[in-house]
Amino acid sequence: MLILTCKLRNEIINCYDGTHSKEQLKKWATKKILLCPVCDKPYEYCHGQVKTPYFRHMNKNECEDRFSESETEEHLNGKRDLFEWIKKQKGVNNVVLEGWIPETKQRPDIMFEYGGKKYVIEYQCSPIATEYVERHELYKASGITDIWILGTDKYLEKSEIGKNFRMKEIEKHTDIYYDVYGKSIISKSIDISRLQNVNIDEMLYFFMDSDFRYYNENKRKLMYDFILENNLVIRSLSEEYISPLNLLEFNDNKILIKEDAINNIQNFYFKQKEEKLLYQNKLTKLSDFRKLIFEYYSAEHDINFSCMPSQSDGLGFKYAKQYFGFNNIANYPTVNFCKINYIYDSAIYEKLITVDVSDNGFKQVISLLDGQLADEIKFKKEINDFVKKYERQRKEEFDDLKGKLSQFTNKPIYLLFKENNNKLPSNIRFKFFEGTSDDLLVVMRCLYKDLKFLKEKNANKYVFMIPRKKWRTSSTGRSQYKVWNHPREVISDFEELGFTVLTYDDLITEVK
Ligand SMILES: [Zn+2]
């Protein structure tokens, strides 16, 4: 067993509070005057660079509590912390670290009295099976209330991973864990009912990473630092409570949150709410600011200017296929990221961003963007001008051709389609019309050319055979056709140009 206290002359001293230097303790140990308070045999003193110093019997077989178990640093540090903590609790007295109960030959980690009753705290770090029941019965028989607090190295970590976890026997009797690394108590039995007006889940959302409980050392440390700094109590998603040891008080076998801690938590919660509101206001301002920039570019340059926030920061915009995030603009002198409250990879990952959204800031952003976008804008304008010119030319040609075609509209046009081909009497003369197209202007060009030709030939009727669109030439050299020119569409094109359209049946009736 690793021990923190020993007897020096007739006084109990410890090896951790700095009263005696390492060198002094080493000297005394060499003189064999540091004694076991129970059996009066000498202790040796052990210390290293990192490890917590401790005493132990020189002869390991001497005076051992038969239940003694923990040889771990977790146990050593834990019983020390809990001892220091319970000492400071109101109404608690006669606190003894590593005391001895002769009746039961047990050496509990901590003994104390409260309200005239005897208590022990056992900080249990190594899983034990049936032993717990025996020890508990022994304490009970001696009129002692035993409080069992479990370590996290062997207990909690395993309980966190997966659903196949089987609770150890002792965990049916206690749900209080002490984490020596974070100096925190994790327990469902901490009384947080007095935390009125605080939505703990909402608070949790602000700064807690859900996977912290898988004990990523860095994350855990960051989180605990944060909790300690802010005097915070939080409830994890699995309904367990975590609280720094210094916020707790002992009251009649119950661990409670101190009154001033409750005030701190409430204050923190309200402050968080305020900050959230502030953050949202900033975002709204920023979003308005961005909108202003879009509007400016759309109005000024008569071109599309799309508002597409990126996935990552949601604060940028897209222009001419280029993404402009406010993160990039952060380097510009114009946008002042005066407050980025952002702790990377920690429990807190909200970021607060402010930009200079004044008129002046706007002018500066625009002037910088203008510089960056000058070429893009010029290019886009050239394309726009070209497209406009092209559209104008088409319109002119359209009007011109429509006028020219009107001289032919006094006669109907017979439209024959591919499916009529085999049934045509041999005396009917027709012209193949090759100009069917989705583009009416193309139709007009061909039609004008063909009608001019027919007029020169003194044709007494305008009869056009509309072929199906040639699709491809097969390997045998025969053309394959696809029904692409739907008669209805072709007819409506001709009608739109002012012609009366007659079909196969009309033609056959007329020639008979
Ligand atoms: Zn001893």
Q: How far is the CA of 80 from the centre of ligand 1 (A)?
A: 19
Q: How far is the CA of 111 from the centre of ligand 1 (A)?
A: 18
Q: Please indicate, yes or no, whether residues 111 and 172 belong to a single structural domain of this protein.
A: yes
Q: How far is the CA of 59 from the centre of ligand 1 (A)?
A: 9
Q: 443 or 386: whose pLDDT is higher?
A: 443
Q: Please indicate, yes or no, whether residues 99 and 240 belong to a single structural domain of this protein.
A: yes
What's the pLDDT score for residue 356?
63
Q: How far is the CA of 350 from the centre of ligand 1 (A)?
A: 55
Q: How far is the CA of 31 from the centre of ligand 1 (A)?
A: 17
What's the pLDDT score for residue 71?
72
Task: Give pLDDT tens digits for 89-142.
Answer: 999 999 999 998 888 888 899 999 999 999 999 999 887 767 888 899 999 999
Q: How far is the CA of 132 from the centre of ligand 1 (A)?
A: 23
Task: Give pLDDT tens digits for 220-272.
Answer: 555 556 556 655 665 543 446 667 787 888 887 788 888 887 787 777 777 76
Last residue of a domain, one of 257, 284, 303: 257
Q: How far is the CA of 38 from the centre of ligand 1 (A)?
A: 5
Indicate whether 265 belongs to any domain: no
Residue 487 pLDDT greater than 70, yes or no: yes
Q: Please indicate, yes or no, whether residues 373 and 419 belong to a single structural domain of this protein.
A: no
Q: Please indicate, yes or no, whether residues 50 and 87 belong to a single structural domain of this protein.
A: no
Residue 192 pLDDT greater than 80, yes or no: no
Indicate whether 208 belongs to any domain: yes
Tokens of 230: 């802010």
Q: How far is the CA of 39 from the centre of ligand 1 (A)?
A: 4
E strands within 336-435? 413-417, 431-432
Indicate whether 389 belongs to any domain: no
Q: How far is the CA of 25 from the centre of ligand 1 (A)?
A: 18
Q: Please indicate, yes or no, whether residues 28 and 165 belong to a single structural domain of this protein.
A: no
Closest CA to 241 of 194, 189, 195: 189
Q: How far is the CA of 155 from the centre of ligand 1 (A)?
A: 29
Last residue of a domain, one of 64, 87, 107: 64
The residue range of the domain holding 252 is: 68-257
Indicate whether 246 belongs to any domain: yes
Q: How far is the CA of 73 from the centre of ligand 1 (A)?
A: 20
Last residue of a domain, one of 39, 64, 89: 64
What distance separates the 2 farthest-apart alpha carbons in the chain? 142
Q: How far is the CA of 470 from the centre of ligand 1 (A)?
A: 108
Q: How far is the CA of 60 from the centre of ligand 1 (A)?
A: 9
Number of structural domains (the chain) is: 4
Task: Give pLDDT tens digits for 303-362.
Answer: 554 444 434 444 445 554 555 544 444 333 323 322 222 222 222 223 333 456 678 777
Q: How far is the CA of 58 from the centre of ligand 1 (A)?
A: 10
Closest CA to 184 of 156, 218, 214, 216: 156
Q: Please indicate, yes or no, whether residues 331 and 188 belong to a single structural domain of this protein.
A: no
Helix (H) or strand (E) holding 402: helix 359-405
Q: 263 or 287: whose pLDDT is higher?
A: 263
Task: Give pLDDT tens digits for 448-458.
Answer: 999 999 999 99
Q: Please indicate, yes or no, whether residues 26 and 108 belong to a single structural domain of this protein.
A: no
Q: How far is the CA of 161 from the centre of ligand 1 (A)?
A: 40
Tell me the sheet residues that pair with 324. 317
Indicate whether 371 belongs to any domain: yes
Could you tell me the CA-to-CA distances from 214 to 155, 160, 161, 244, 287 in Å, in that order? 13, 7, 7, 19, 37
Q: Please indicate, yes or no, whether residues 143 and 29 belong to a single structural domain of this protein.
A: no
CA pair distance 25, 42, nearest whole angstrom:
12
Q: How far is the CA of 102 from the centre of ligand 1 (A)?
A: 12
CA pair distance 506, 287, nearest whole angstrom:
67
Q: How far is the CA of 186 from the centre of ligand 1 (A)?
A: 33
Q: How far is the CA of 110 from the centre of ligand 1 (A)?
A: 17
Give the predicted TM-score (pTM) of the model. Answer: 0.57
Indicate whether 457 belongs to any domain: yes
Residue 1 pLDDT greater than 70, yes or no: yes
Q: How far is the CA of 67 from the centre of ligand 1 (A)?
A: 14
Q: Please indicate, yes or no, whether residues 302 and 281 belong to a single structural domain of this protein.
A: yes
Q: How far is the CA of 131 from the centre of ligand 1 (A)?
A: 22
Task: Give pLDDT tens digits for 375-388.
Answer: 767 776 777 787 78
Q: Please indicate, yes or no, whether residues 43 and 74 belong to a single structural domain of this protein.
A: no
Q: How far is the CA of 138 from the centre of ligand 1 (A)?
A: 20
What's the pLDDT score for residue 314?
43
Q: Please indicate, yes or no, whether residues 59 and 138 belong to a single structural domain of this protein.
A: no
Q: How far is the CA of 360 from the centre of ligand 1 (A)?
A: 80
Q: What angle in degrees, to the nearest 10, is found between the helix axes of 440-456 and 487-496?
A: 70
Q: Please indicate, yes or no, whether residues 125 and 234 belong to a single structural domain of this protein.
A: yes
Q: How far is the CA of 40 from the centre of ligand 1 (A)?
A: 6
Confidence of residue 189 (pLDDT cuts 50, 70, 90): confident
Indicate whether 496 belongs to any domain: yes
Collect contacts of 215-223 with beta carbons under 8 A, ≥24 apart.
215/157, 215/160, 218/345, 219/345, 219/346, 219/347, 220/181, 220/182, 221/181, 221/182, 222/343, 222/345, 222/346, 222/347, 223/182, 223/346, 223/347
Q: How far is the CA of 14 from the centre of ligand 1 (A)?
A: 15
Confidence of residue 467 (pLDDT cuts 50, 70, 90): confident
Closest CA to 96 of 74, 79, 73, 72: 79
Q: How far is the CA of 183 from the centre of ligand 1 (A)?
A: 30
Q: How far is the CA of 85 from the centre of ligand 1 (A)?
A: 26
Indicate whether 396 belongs to any domain: no
